[in-house]
Structure 1
Amino acid sequence: MSRSLVSMSRRLLSVDKASNWRCYCSSSPPKETLFVGGLSWSVDEKSMKDAFSSFGEVTEVRIMYDKETGRSRGFGFVKFSKGGDARSAKDAMDGKEFVGRPLRISFAHDKVRGVPVVVPHIRHV
């Protein structure tokens, strides 16, 4: 870690020790990828792409499957070519029913491997 980053972290931590806050030191979430939770087991990539294509160009759809059973784990990801299209899709589809179940949609976060994520939590003194 660079000295300037360590110095900045120390200054931020010493600003107000009585405050309760968290600092996530990771890259910002990609604004064009959505996490889609609450999927029915019968949903496939094609039906998901069809549902989200009305908001813009969908470049990738991934549904996560259980390795042992091969059944959907109930969530997936939709990637748009433009962040504005992803925002529109999130606003319109979050909480809406899709194949009998309400969707939970948020912006996806990068999966960080091998890099520690610093999350200091300061308690009230």
Structure 2
Amino acid sequence: MSIYVGNLSYEVTQEDISEVFAEYGTVKRVQLPTDRETGRVRGFAFVEMEAESQEAAAIDALDGAEWMGRNLKVNKAKPREDRGGGRGGDRRGGNGGGKFSSRRY
């Protein structure tokens, strides 16, 4: 499992995040996504720690805490949703294009 860390300063580095979370246990990995076009930090990160108990301690201590001028949002990361092939929604129209319709026989 990993931890979602939101509302980060755009000046933050992976080292900054590792340092803060290391107070609660062993940090295995920090992922700090950047904007594809600008290369700028996107304002959130994911942190993986060695044990769930360490993750829980970090979440309890850091959620809502003020750091680098911002109040952090820290919680368990949700699994990434499958975005599919780029065509959203059901394009068959009407009742979903299923075998049956609302028409009576």
> Which residue in 2 is equivalent to 1:80?
49
Residue-pair matches, total: 84
**Greater per-residue helix proportion:** 1
Please say which structure displays the higher CA radius of gyration: 2
TM-score, normalised to structure 2, is 0.76
Unaligned regions of 5+ residues in structure 1, if any? 1-29, 116-125
Separation in 2 of the partners of 1:103 and 1:97? 6
- Give SS of 2:48's match: strand
> Which residue in 1 is equivalent to 2:91?
none
How far off is 1:100 after superposition?
1.0
Same amino acid, percent of matched pairs: 35
Separation in 2 of the partners of 1:98 and 1:108? 20
2:29 pairs with 1:66: no
Report which structure shows greater RCO (CA 8 Å, sep ≥6): 1
> CA-atom RMSD, angstroms?
1.3
- Give SS of 2:45's match: strand
Separation in 2 of the partners of 1:54 and 1:105? 15
Unaligned regions of 5+ residues in structure 2, if any? 85-105
TM-score, normalised to structure 1, is 0.64
Of 27, 30, 36, the match for 2:5:
36
Amino acid at match of 2:22: S
